[in-house]
Structure 1
Amino acid sequence: MKKVSLAFLIFILGLQTYAQGITDPIKPNILFIFADDQMFNTIGALENCPVKTPNLDRLMNNGVSFSRAYNQGSFAPAVCVASRTMIITGGYLWTAATFSRKGNASNDHNAPGNNPRYEIPFKKPEKYWPEYLKEAGYDTYMSGKWHIGEVSPNDVFDNVKDIRPGMPNQTKERYSRTFERDKADTWSPYDKELGGFWKGGKHWSEVLADNGISFLTQSAKSENPFFMYLAFNAPHDPRQAPKKFVDMYPLDEIKVPENFIPEYPYNEYAGAGRTLRDEKLAPFPRTEYSVKVNLQEYYAIISHMDEQIGRILDALKASGKADNTYVFFTADHGLAVGDHGFMGKQNMYESSMRVPMIMSGPNIPKGKTVDSFVYLQDIMPTTLEIAGLKKPDQVDFNSLLPLATGKVNTSNYPVVYGAYFGTQRMYRTEEYKMIIYPTANKVRLYDMKNDPLEMKDLAENRDDYKVVLNTLFREYKILQKRMNDPVDVEEAFENFMAGVPAPTLRTK
């Protein structure tokens, strides 16, 4: 009798196991699409946006858009290196700096001449983003821009194809442009003979879309969930696109930014001066015409990239897996293109610090906008939660799911932190933004509610805003300690408040 009961028990347990196996939901797929250098207000569905992006509009209407998503800045001139190290490891800026040998400014020969030196020892992170997901049963795939020097994508992804460098090759013609209406241009964004994005014969954005479509076709036959990391080099310079996309944006219809100025007064102290590569993309002093040409090509390559994103989204739908796939879109940082006289992203203004960020997928509301402060690197722990993983100790950023689904309405970040090397610091609250240039003894203050374009520096009247400035700096020091920020800017702040002039700028 006991033998019969035992056999019956085993039979019942087997049925339960089988039933559980056929009712357990399949883990959701994750598609991460990463742009390079895309400012926050370049999605066509946004009000007064001149850029045509029907496919990103479609994604935005089908999911949640985070209107105030930020990057924390950089420990290297290549801001993308810091941003990508943060997202691949989950660590805040100065934690990520320990995971990158470029985090040590004392060994960086590209550091600004007046950049305060700091030593950050290198250490290997416990795991990288795709390694966590592989342990959860995901097939992982990566194609496109990598630019994280301490690890090869081949070591952390199952499948890798067409890894690209930090940016396509530049040409002398691109840097020597005259930017004068009555002179022949030495550069054409659709001349395939000039290389850059056209190197190899097919535009790199199109190659990336081809690769993504190929993997989606392959994944349709697999029972495993997938994690796809598709990283465009677009819209990074040299901003090249087929002629039909450039023709979509006539120069006479392009407006220069309202906060355009010919040259930023503290750019050399900020480490974002005339010798920085990004800033060589237009002449000094800036002209409105040069900004318009840069914007024309910037808008064109975004629209071309959008077309490729549409192809990827269509392939996802054709694979039959769209309903069980979370799609994320963002960029590693923004870009100035004339904002405050800058051309690059090595500054603390909104156009460079903020990015577009969209999330869609199962149980995600459609057409919703979240206005809370978030960081773009929050995508990484969001995917870990989607995969059913507990957030590792190494990960500083936070899941977006509670905000996206409406379970909470309060951000994990009441304020936003920003930094660039030892030459810039930023503290952003709902009401104010404070920017500090320690090597210039300079502090700037903006009323972000009444002056979102950051055009009126309230700190010019420091006596009238003494209480505000002191309060913000006191709060900043607390956050600085939490961020393990190695650069002390207190002396510079005190010098500014006391009216001490900027020291002589050291040049290399």
Structure 2
Amino acid sequence: MRYGGIRCLLLCTAIMVGLQLESVQAQEAAQPNILLLFTDDQCFDTIAALGNTEVITPNLDKLAKRGVSFSNAYNMGGWNGAICVASRTMMNTGRFLWRAHQVDNELAEEARHRRMIPQVMHDAGYETYMTGKWHVKIDANKIYDHVTHVRPGMPKTVEASYQRPNEKGDWSPWDPSLGGFWEGGKHWSEVVADDAEDFLEQAAKSPRPFFMYLAFNAPHDPRQAPREFVEMYHRTDLKIPANFLPEYPYMEAMGAGKSLRDERLAPWPRTPEAVQLHRQEYYALITHLDVQIGRILAQLESTGQADNTYIVMTADHGLACGQHGLLGKQSMFEHSMKAPLIVVGPGIPADKRIETPVYVQDFTATAIDWAGAPRPETLEFQSLLPIIAGQRQQQYDVIYGAYMPNKQRMIRAGDFKLVHYPKGDTYQLFNLREDPHEITNLAANPDQTQRVSDLKDQLAKLMHSMDDPMLSTAQEER
């Protein structure tokens, strides 16, 4: 009788273990793959399917038509001139700007507590992979399962790429001897695609779902692409942006200055010819990038993993490339703060556009939702899924932007944006619905006095909630 009871107990235990194993296997099978296509310096309006009639992006066009595109996806800004550092730190920690800055030198501690987003995904059962641009203050190998070709913030500076156009004749975007994107013998965008193809082949044989962080350095300068891509664009046919200026009048007040590296790419004053030159090479890099994305998507399809994969395409931030007399991204203008954001995958509506303002780093919370993983207490960004499903119409009450601890601040509330340059106490107010190119400053209009006052109050409260260092600076000055 005693032995019969033991046999029964062992049998019941085996059944229970079997059921638990089946449950785990079912959960793993249900977990989707997640693929992030993360580009660098790509403005929100550089995809043909989303309204740009000049740029050639057939693969990104197909992606946009397969899913949901957010037309107002913001990066919060940065704590130094390299805006990508802040953006990528936020993307890998899930923290808002200044709290990401607070842990910027303590990422090893974040990793020890397994708070980094790729660690959360690993602990949820994912095989994690990273290749390309990193620019985060922790070794990628410490938080991803697989890492290849870690790249710096930008390809090595090519001096011939600055102050153009000029008469020197020492610049050719397709000349491998100049280095930059060609360093190592193969264009870096092509290397990312090679790496992605290899890992997708490997992932197809694994029982675990994958989380892929594919970080292109393109279309960051130096603007180098193979000759055939540059020659796709006839420079003199390219449009001059509606908000073109020979020189931005608040250049010094905004804290960027003419000495900023990005702004030295073209001479002052800016000319239409210079803008056309830089946009030609910028678009060429984007089209070359688009081809590499097409390769990755084709490999995803050929390995049989496409149907169970969510794809998110976005960038760390935008780029002026000739708008407002600027070339860089160190401003609060839409062209520099906003990036493309496309979401594709099972259950995602096709060919849908959403204007709700969000942050590009909302990808973090969205991925965690897809994984069914516990939400880390340090995660501050919000999932895009309720917005996509129409369960809510607003993601955040207001949108925040900042450049450096004391240089620029921004708040967007509804259709209005208020920009503040503390140096000189300068304010700008734009109606983004009526003036999407931010040409007309309404701040001094008498009929906008109350709106400006209200937005100043909202910005002060928002800065407080963000642990904005400018508040402590102002208190010290008092």
Query: For residues 431 and 187 of structure 1, do their structure 2 counterparts lie closer, same or farther at Cα, with a shift above 3 Å needed?
Result: same
The 5 Å alignment of 1:305-454 reads 305-406=289-390, 408-421=391-404, 422-454=406-438
Aligned equivalent of 2:147: 160
Counterpart selection for 1:485 from 451, 468, 477: 468
The 5 Å alignment of 1:80-479 reads 80-101=84-105, 124-125=109-110, 126=113, 127-149=115-137, 151-177=138-164, 179=165, 183=167, 185-406=169-390, 408-421=391-404, 422-461=406-445, 463-479=446-462
Query: For residues 478 and 207 of structure 1, do their structure 2 counterparts lie closer, same or farther at Cα, with a shift above 3 Å needed?
Result: same
Q: Within 1, Cα distance between the matches of 2:82 and 2:24? A: 48
Query: For residues 434 and 229 of structure 1, do their structure 2 counterparts lie closer, same or farther at Cα, with a shift above 3 Å needed?
Result: same
Amino acid at match of 1:397: F
Question: What is the CA distance between 1:16 and its match in structure 2?
Answer: 4.2
Q: Within 2, Cα distance between the matches of 1:308 and 1:481? A: 42
Q: Within 1, Cα distance between the matches of 2:374 and 2:108? A: 23
Amino acid at match of 1:155: K
Q: Within 2, Cα distance between the matches of 1:61 and 1:244? A: 26
Question: What is the CA distance between 1:369 and its match in structure 2?
Answer: 1.6
Q: Within 2, Cα distance between the matches of 1:22 and 1:228? A: 21
Aligned equivalent of 1:77: 81
Query: For residues 60 and 469 of structure 1, do their structure 2 counterparts lie closer, same or farther at Cα, with a shift above 3 Å needed?
Result: same
Q: Which secondary structure does the structure 2 equivalent of 1:134 belong to?
A: helix
How big is the alpha-carbon RMSD for the aligned residues of Structure 1 and Structure 2? 2.1
Deviations 1:372-417 (A, max 9, x none): 11100010111111111121111110111111233x1322212210
Judge conservation of contact 2:409–2:421 (CA < 8 Å) in 1.
yes
Query: For residues 124 and 77 of structure 1, do their structure 2 counterparts lie closer, same or farther at Cα, with a shift above 3 Å needed?
Result: farther
Amino acid at match of 1:412: Q
Aligned equivalent of 1:112: none
In structure 2, runs of 5+ residues without a counterpart are: none
Aligned equivalent of 2:51: 47
Deviations 1:211-263 (A, max 9, x none): 00000011111111111111000000001111111111101210111000011
Q: Which secondary structure does the structure 1 equivalent of 2:30 belong to?
A: coil
Q: Which secondary structure does the structure 2 equivalent of 1:270 belong to?
A: coil
In structure 1, runs of 5+ residues without a counterpart are: 102-120, 493-508
Question: What is the CA distance between 1:172 and its match in structure 2?
Answer: 2.1
Query: For residues 16 and 192 of structure 1, do their structure 2 counterparts lie closer, same or farther at Cα, with a shift above 3 Å needed?
Result: closer
Judge conservation of contact 1:42–1:49 (CA < 8 Å) in 2.
no
Q: Which secondary structure does the structure 1 equivalent of 2:461 belong to?
A: helix
Question: What is the CA distance between 1:13 and its match in structure 2?
Answer: 4.1
Q: Within 2, Cα distance between the matches of 1:426 and 1:134? A: 36
Question: What is the CA distance between 1:175 and its match in structure 2?
Answer: 1.6
Q: Which secondary structure does the structure 2 equivalent of 1:84 belong to?
A: helix
Question: What is the CA distance between 1:138 and its match in structure 2?
Answer: 1.1
Question: What is the CA distance between 1:185 and its match in structure 2?
Answer: 3.4
Judge conservation of contact 2:387–2:395 (CA < 8 Å) in 1.
no
Q: Within 2, Cα distance between the matches of 1:232 and 1:11? A: 48
Q: Within 2, Cα distance between the matches of 1:331 and 1:22? A: 34
Q: Which secondary structure does the structure 1 equivalent of 2:417 belong to?
A: strand
Question: What is the CA distance between 1:34 and its match in structure 2?
Answer: 0.5
Q: Within 2, Cα distance between the matches of 1:100 and 1:76? A: 12
Aligned residues: 467
Judge conservation of contact 1:142–1:228 (CA < 8 Å) in 2.
yes
Query: For residues 123 and 223 of structure 1, do their structure 2 counterparts lie closer, same or farther at Cα, with a shift above 3 Å needed?
Result: closer
Query: For residues 20 and 140 of structure 1, do their structure 2 counterparts lie closer, same or farther at Cα, with a shift above 3 Å needed?
Result: closer
Query: For residues 221 and 268 of structure 1, do their structure 2 counterparts lie closer, same or farther at Cα, with a shift above 3 Å needed?
Result: same
Per the normalisation by structure 2, the TM-score is 0.93
Aligned equivalent of 1:114: none
Q: Within 2, Cα distance between the matches of 1:390 and 1:7? A: 33
Deviations 1:439-469 (A, max 9, x none): 11110111111111111111133x4421111
Judge conservation of contact 1:373–1:414 (CA < 8 Å) in 2.
no
Judge conservation of contact 1:144–1:161 (CA < 8 Å) in 2.
yes
Judge conservation of contact 2:48–2:54 (CA < 8 Å) in 1.
yes
Identity %: 48
Judge conservation of contact 1:98–1:123 (CA < 8 Å) in 2.
no
Amino acid at match of 1:141: Y
Aligned equivalent of 2:37: 33
Question: What is the CA distance between 1:7 and its match in structure 2?
Answer: 6.3
Q: Within 1, Cα distance between the matches of 2:25 and 2:463? A: 50
Q: Within 1, Cα distance between the matches of 2:471 and 2:25? A: 58
Q: Within 2, Cα distance between the matches of 1:283 and 1:468? A: 38
* Runs (4+) off by over 3 Å: 1-26, 121-124, 488-492
Query: For residues 449 and 411 of structure 1, do their structure 2 counterparts lie closer, same or farther at Cα, with a shift above 3 Å needed?
Result: same
Per the normalisation by structure 1, the TM-score is 0.88
Judge conservation of contact 2:46–2:52 (CA < 8 Å) in 1.
no
Amino acid at match of 1:442: T
Question: What is the CA distance between 1:470 and its match in structure 2?
Answer: 0.5
Q: Within 2, Cα distance between the matches of 1:22 and 1:349? A: 48
